Structure 1
Amino acid sequence: MAAVSATCVRFRTSTVELSIRASNQITGKSASLGWTRTGVFPCIRTSRLQICAAKAETVEKVKEIVRKQLALSPETKLTPQTKFTELGADSLDTVEIVMGLEEEFNISVEEENSENITTIQEAADLIDKLCDKKA
């Protein structure tokens, strides 16, 4: 289970500073993110900081299922960060991918969880989470 802690968050009228340090207690790896914005009315935009927790074999199985469901050639490069939309998938394709994952891993994905699956890594992380709960 990953532990995430914010080490520094400051809001001022002209400056916004944000520093986040995340560490994975299992692997011992950590990542840091720092950001400062100056101006009269700062605009805060967030990006996702994600520590990949899924097993490598889960990611590979997800890649196989995505490749099969979308009829992708073996030459099509798939990475954990590959978005289904980048591969030409629409919402129906995504539903079919989720159904294929449910069948392969013998799990049930709730509708609200399936809406959050946009990449191979997100699918693999959810699968490992659901399999761990099931066990």
Structure 2
Amino acid sequence: MATVSATSVSFGASLKPCFNNNRKTDGTSALNMVRVVWTKNVYSSLRTSRFNVCCSAKPETVQKVCEIVKKQLALSDETELTPESKFAALGADSLDTVEIVMGLEEEFDISVEEESSQNITTVQEAADLIEKLVQKKEG
């Protein structure tokens, strides 16, 4: 069995959560970047020295998605939503998810294909898809 050793792993959090009046004191909420640096000559087939995971959606897009989700699901202002919030965990069924997507389409003047809308399960996934569709529309 092969093992991989990492010389360093660093985590940074800089995404702003979807809060209205209940902001955290440190202003952070989610994992934004993971950096893994491989030790030299462990595996010659590994050509990369870093692995980054980043979210592409703008914070204002994530915030707008949170507002639409709260409105559609009739959630109170005190309900905290983060980019990782799952629609199902908030009580959304398939019809609610379709209505959320329709609200996003109207708000951002985009059209989401049915197969894409079925893959949206979190606030972040919705925001990332919106950013992608808006960029495609502008380009």
TM-score range, shorter chain: 0.5 to 0.7
Verify: 1:15 aligned to 2:2, yes or no: yes
Matches within 5 A, 1:20-99: 30-32=33-35, 50-99=53-102
Residue-by-residue CA offset, 1:51-83 (whole Å, 9 max, x unaligned): 211011101110000000000000101001100
Q: What is the CA–CA distance in structure 1 between the aligned matches of 2:113 and 2:93, rounded to whole Å?
A: 19
SS in 1 for 2:81: coil
SS in 2 for 1:57: helix
Aligned position for 2:46: none
Letter in 1 for 2:127: A
Aligned position for 1:8: none
Higher strand share: 1
Q: What is the CA–CA distance in structure 2 between the aligned matches of 1:30 and 1:89, rounded to whole Å?
A: 29
Question: Would the alpha carbon gap of residues 95 and 52 (structure 1) be closer, same or farther in structure 2, given more than 3 Å must change?
Answer: same
Aligned position for 2:105: 102
Aligned position for 1:130: 133
- Structural RMSD (CA): 2.3
Q: What is the CA–CA distance in structure 1 between the aligned matches of 2:77 and 2:132, rounded to whole Å?
A: 28
**TM-score, length-normalised on structure 1?**
0.66
The unaligned stretches of length 5 or more in structure 2 are 10-31, 38-51
Q: What is the CA–CA distance in structure 2 between the aligned matches of 1:17 and 1:103, rounded to whole Å?
A: 47
Verify: 1:114 aligned to 2:120, yes or no: no
Q: What is the CA–CA distance in structure 1 between the aligned matches of 2:5 and 2:115, rounded to whole Å?
A: 30
Question: Would the alpha carbon gap of residues 113 and 33 (structure 1) be closer, same or farther in structure 2, given more than 3 Å must change?
Answer: farther
Aligned position for 1:11: none
The answer to which structure, 1 or 2, has the higher relative contact order (CA under 8 A, 6+ apart) is 2
- 1:15 deviates by 3.3
Identity between Structure 1 and Structure 2 (%): 65
Provide the aligned length of Structure 1 versus Structure 2. 100
The unaligned stretches of length 5 or more in structure 1 are 1-13, 22-28, 35-48
